[in-house]
């Protein structure tokens, strides 16, 4: 039974729920949905198997079966032995003319077909036990007459509890039968040069390889399947690149206005700052000024390493908007960071700076909102409260978004909608690998700050075994006696946390209790605390009332304590390199020499030691980010999810410069020639966007 294909929508069979497939009831659909991270037939088809394919074509005799190999054996059941105790297996002895083999079944009841005299076929991995061949828990056991039901080439899909490979395989066969005839959206020349199959053929080569590959050698099978994966990855990369190219075009074509000033407010800010901008700050500011002066809207990313001076650049950009007669707003992700930005801007700017956060209430909030609405207040700093519907600006010329590096295309384009012609500047202290600039940020212009402002000393980073805890605590005591403030970061909140890797003492709460035995007053901040208690702990540390703060990664960004000069990261091997670099950046902000102590497990793997050594040997966040991306992958590049699985369905292993550039260049050519995707290949590409869920970006772009 095939799903009905809608005449008006050829994708209807793929967009149908899993329960539309024959044999898929609600219970199985729920299991499948957990495994494939989706509820549609299309989600099932895009749930690709692992690269390891089980080849069951070898049909040796018992004496020819090689230990460690997968073999399919024709046997006669000789005898059956029940388990001698509860944990022992059922033992079925099978034989052919060349010898005997034991089939071991760890099952509660007697295995099916375990009847002496039956002719069966069993397929599984051959092992040696006591010098005798054994097949433990065979993957397939059927009557000899049904031998052709054992797949010669079997995909291995990622599964979930309660879902077997056979169950998923049956569902996948039903889904493949529903594949409608789809247009070819890839460039014909690329298909020829890369030897890629069509979209439907690629899915079939991966999910049902026996149909087309059973007669090929293992090497040829690997080549054909690699091309199929590359084809599907290229499809997803192209869909993403098209959406971003269109976002870039829409942003470029949106009407804006020129924002220029006489420089008086800027000059006063630099006089108060007391130092000239660095060369990279000057260069970035010139790029921002050119965008502000253009008649189209700015959408620019200002990326800089920790301590590179992004806030000064953003402040000077905001003052340019004020000099031009408009308003400017800076949004921060947390209240404590918003307050820090407010203090910085208030000290540099010769015009009042408002602060709008969730804790600003009553008459103070009413007065501030009135000033924003009537234009009397030209500069304002705040949290997400700035973009609530009740906040109205008289004339917002520039919106600066700090540390919002996980926002996707749609969100970034919406953040500037508080003004009819608002320019948007996004800042991130997370150095972005070159590869990701072609994906996550490709619809934005990019300015990069390198180096650090004058007066910043290098942070001395050292590695220490967790077994040296006593010596470390003594060193921390000396640092505190000398007037230092200390961060102590743990990867967990409490023992029993799902992320716990069973390393003793890693939990923040437990570490806090243990350190209280050595030090009288210690702060504690983690994500599961009530927000007001967490903010109070951070505020006490920032204002010096506590000198040692035990925390989780809630302090990764947005905590600026110039007096803090020591950072301890416990079980540093559990963190990504970029995250460790961000944590290290919480110190080294004052004039004192700062230190970062990375505590690692006593039994550290060679790869983990190499990662931590890289952090010890360099402070270049861009070098670290590139290495972190290479080691850990890109995570959620689209920013549609804050954590968990990546947004890529099939392209995760193809995020290299060559593949990304090919997709991006193709997308730019298409959008330049046919921005509405209305002609020929453009119509076919609209189907591609729907297949990979990038049409939502286009709806957002053209809805306003």
In the predicted model, is pLDDT for residue 635 greater than 60? no
| Cβ contact 320:289 at 8 Å | yes
d(CA 89, CA 200): 43
**What is the 3-class SS of 666-689, one letter each residue?**
HHHHHHHHCCCCCCCHHHHHHHHH
- Judging by beta carbons within 10 Å of its beta carbon (0-12, 13-18, 19+), is residue 673 exposed, middle or buried? exposed
Q: How far apart are CA 586 and CA 556, in angstroms?
A: 7
| Per-residue confidence (pLDDT) for residue 694, from 0 to 100 | 85
The pLDDT assigned to 630 comes to 65
Q: Residues 268-302: pLDDT tens digits?
A: 999 999 989 989 999 999 999 999 999 888 888 89
Out of 246-260, 453-467, 596-610, the most confident range is 596-610
pLDDT given at position 368: 94
Q: Which CATH superfamily is domain 460-618 in?
A: P-loop containing nucleotide triphosphate hydrolases (3.40.50.300)
Helix/strand/coil for 253: helix
Q: What is the pLDDT of residue 504?
A: 30
Mean pLDDT of the chain: 86
pLDDT digits (tens, 9 = 90+) for 467-486: 899 999 999 999 999 999 99
Sequence ranges of the domains in the chain: 1-49+165-180, 57-150, 264-449, 460-618
CATH topology agreement for domains 57-150 and 264-449 = no
CATH 3.40.50.970 corresponds to the domain 57-150: no
Cα dihedral across residues 521, 525, 528, 533: positive or negative? positive
Q: Per residue in 329-356, pLDDT tens? A: 999 877 878 888 999 999 999 999 999 9
Provide mean pLDDT across the span 596-619.
89
Helices 695-703 and 218-253 sit at what angle, rounded to 10 degrees? Answer: 0
Alpha-carbon gap, residue 461 to 567, rounded angstroms: 9
Give 659-675 pLDDT, tens digit per residue.
Answer: 888 998 999 899 989 98
Average pLDDT over residues 69-80: 96
Taking residue 165's Cβ as centre, other Cβ atoms within 10 Å add up to 16
For the stretch 145-187, pLDDT in tens is 999 999 999 999 999 989 999 899 999 999 999 999 999 999 9
Distance CA 272, CA 559 (A): 23
Strand 54-55 versus strand 153-154 pairing type: antiparallel
User: Hey, is 288 helix, strand or coil?
Assistant: helix
Mean pLDDT over 125-136 rounds to 94
The pLDDT tens digits of the residues spanning 9-44 come to: 889 999 999 999 999 999 999 999 999 999 999 999
Residue 2 has a pLDDT of: 35
User: How many alpha carbons fall within 13 Å on the CB side of residue 458?
Assistant: 10
d(CA 280, CA 464): 35
Name 106's bridge partners: none
Q: What pLDDT was estimated at residue 592?
A: 84
More confident residue, 604 or 15: 15
406: pLDDT strictly greater than 60: no
| SS3 state at 121 | strand
pLDDT in tens, 546-558: 999 999 887 866 6
State the first-to-last Cα distance of the chain, in angstroms, to the nearest integer. 43
601 CB-near residues (< 8 Å, 6+ apart): 465, 466, 503, 571, 573
The DSSP annotation for 452-475 comes to --TTPPPPEEEEEEGGGHHHHHHH
* Dist CA 1 CA 592 (whole Å): 74
pLDDT digits (tens, 9 = 90+) for 409-430: 554 555 556 666 789 898 887 6
**Has residue 7 got a pLDDT over 60?**
no
User: According to the model, what pLDDT value does residue 394 have?
Assistant: 94
* Predicted confidence (pLDDT) per residue in 692-704, tens digit: 988 876 665 555 4
Judged against a pLDDT cut of 80, whether residue 608 lies above it is answered with yes
- Residue partners of 496: CB distance under 8 A and separation at least 6: none
**Which pLDDT score is estimated for 1?**
28
Residue 400's nearest CA partner among 341, 339, 449 is: 341
CATH architecture of 264-449: 3-Layer(aba) Sandwich (3.40)
pLDDT digits (tens, 9 = 90+) for 431-475: 666 666 655 666 678 898 876 666 667 899 999 998 899 999 999
CB atoms within 10 A of CB 689: 21
């Amino acid at each position: 039974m095939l799903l009905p294909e809608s005449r008006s929508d050829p994708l209807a069979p793929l967009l149908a729920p899993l329960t539309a497939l024959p044999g898929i009831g609600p219970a199985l659909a729920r299991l499948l949905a957990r495994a494939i991270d989706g509820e549609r037939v299309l989600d099932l088809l895009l749930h690709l198997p692992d690269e390891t394919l089980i080849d069951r074509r070898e049909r040796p005799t018992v004496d020819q079966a090689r230990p460690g190999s997968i073999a399919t054996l024709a046997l006669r059941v000789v005898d059956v032995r029940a388990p001698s105790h509860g944990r022992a297996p059922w033992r079925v002895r099978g034989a052919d003319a060349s010898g005997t083999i034991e089939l071991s079944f760890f099952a509660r009841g007697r295995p099916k077909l375990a009847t002496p005299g039956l002719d069966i076929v069993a397929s599984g991995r051959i092992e040696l036990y006591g010098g005798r061949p054994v097949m433990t828990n065979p993957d397939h056991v059927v009557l000899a007459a049904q031998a052709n039901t054992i797949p010669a080439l079997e995909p291995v899909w990622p599964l979930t509890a309660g879902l077997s490979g056979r169950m998923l395989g049956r569902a996948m066969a039903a889904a493949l039968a529903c594949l409608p005839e789809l247009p070819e959206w890839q460039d014909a020349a690329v298909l020829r040069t890369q030897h890629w199959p069509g979209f439907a053929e690629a899915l079939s080569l991966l999910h049902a390889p026996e149909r087309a590959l059973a007669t090929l050698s293992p090497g040829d099978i690997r080549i054909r399947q690699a091309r199929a994966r590359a084809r599907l990855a290229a499809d997803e990369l192209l869909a993403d690149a098209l959406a971003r190219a269109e976002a870039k075009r829409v942003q470029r074509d949106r009407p804006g206005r020129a924002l220029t000033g006489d420089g008086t407010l800027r000059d006063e800010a630099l006089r108060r700052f007391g130092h000239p901008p660095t060369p990279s700050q000057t260069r970035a500011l010139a790029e921002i000024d050119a965008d502000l002066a253009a008649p189209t809207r700015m959408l620019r990313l200002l990326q800089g390493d920790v301590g590179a001076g992004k806030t000064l650049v953003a402040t000077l950009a905001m003052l340019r908007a004020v000099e031009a007669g408009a308003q400017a707003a800076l949004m921060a992700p947390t209240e404590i960071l918003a307050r820090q930005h407010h203090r910085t801007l208030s000290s540099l700017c010769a015009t009042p700076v408002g602060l709008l956060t969730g804790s600003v209430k009553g008459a103070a909030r009413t007065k501030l909102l009135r000033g924003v609405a009537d234009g009397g207040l030209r500069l304002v700093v705040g949290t997400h409260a700035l973009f609530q519907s009740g906040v109205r600006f008289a004339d917002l010329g520039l919106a600066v978004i700090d540390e919002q590096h996980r926002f996707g295309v749609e969100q970034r384009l919406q953040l500037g909608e508080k003004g009819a012609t608002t320019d948007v500047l996004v800042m991130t202290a997370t150095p972005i690998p070159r590869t990701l600039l072609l994906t996550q940020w490709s619809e934005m212009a990019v300015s990069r700050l390198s180096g650090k402002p004058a007066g910043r000393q290098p942070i001395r980073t050292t590695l220490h075994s967790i077994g040296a805890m006593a010596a470390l605590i003594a060193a921390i005591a000396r640092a505190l006696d000398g007037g230092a403030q200390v961060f102590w970061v743990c990867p967990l909140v409490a023992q029993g946390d799902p992320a716990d890797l069973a390393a003793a003492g890693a939990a923040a709460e437990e570490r806090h209790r243990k350190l209280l035995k050595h030090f009288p007053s210690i702060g504690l901040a983690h994500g599961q605390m009530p927000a007001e208690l967490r903010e109070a702990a951070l505020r006490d540390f920032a204002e010096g009332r506590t000198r040692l703060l035990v925390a989780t990664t809630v302090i990764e960004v947005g905590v600026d304590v110039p007096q803090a000069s020591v950072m301890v990261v416990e079980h540093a091997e559990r963190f990504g390199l970029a995250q460790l670099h961000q944590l290290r950046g919480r110190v080294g902000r004052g004039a004192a020499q700062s230190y970062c102590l990375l505590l690692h497990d006593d039994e550290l793997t060679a790869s983990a030691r190499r990662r931590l050594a890289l952090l010890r040997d360099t402070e270049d966040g861009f070098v670290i980010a590139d290495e972190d991306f290479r080691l850990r992958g890109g995570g959620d590049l689209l920013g549609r999810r804050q954590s968990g699985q990546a947004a890529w369905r099939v392209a995760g292993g193809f995020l290299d410069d060559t593949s990304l550039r090919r997709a991006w260049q193709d997308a730019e050519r298409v959008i330049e020639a046919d921005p509405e995707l209305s002609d020929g290949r453009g119509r076919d590409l609209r189907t591609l966007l729907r297949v990979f869920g990038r049409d939502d970006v286009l709806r957002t772009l053209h809805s306003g």
